[in-house]
Structure 1
Amino acid sequence: MRPEVQTFVADGPLPDWDASEEEIDRRVQQFNAILKPVTGEEAKALVACFGPDDCCGPRTGRQRVAPAALPPRRERRTDPLNLTA
């Protein structure tokens, strides 16, 4: 796991709306330091930091984490209409 992901995860869950502006800014900077793509291991660790609230809820990190959390794509079929399957 990359150091920037370890640092983000080590600080635990993201703050709620009542957190100081400095705390939120610090966590945003940490998150923005994590470049895509993330690995599956990193994605699992990052997801644990996002809570159910509206401040830093699941949608906040979805674009960075989602591709790593998906299973690998199967090879594309040569028949896009699936007529031969």
Structure 2
Amino acid sequence: MFEIIGIERLDYVSKKNGQRVRGTNLYCIDGSEYKNTIGNRCEKLYCKEAVDTSDFAIGDRIEVSYNRWGNIETAALVESAAG
């Protein structure tokens, strides 16, 4: 489970291939404990436009599932920060 600490909406044209990129970067704390780590680790999770992130807010807890290529296929709200 991840806790959202930042949300970045993306809509730009890639300089590498000229393709339009739309999606969302979710900056999250994963909450797991890791050996040799004090505090939290965070991750940037890229969600393509087809993954609905429109209702997510800072503090929400989410679960994500990945496809066989390691890309996020779904992101689901587990616990809302709003209560």
Q: By the TM > 0.5 criterion, same fold?
A: no
Q: Whose strand proportion is higher, 1 or 2? A: 2
Larger relative contact order (Cα-Cα within 8 Å, sequence gap ≥ 6)? 1
TM-score after normalising by structure 1? 0.21
State which structure, 1 or 2, has the greater radius of gyration over its C-alpha atoms.
1
Q: Whose helix proportion is higher, 1 or 2? A: 1
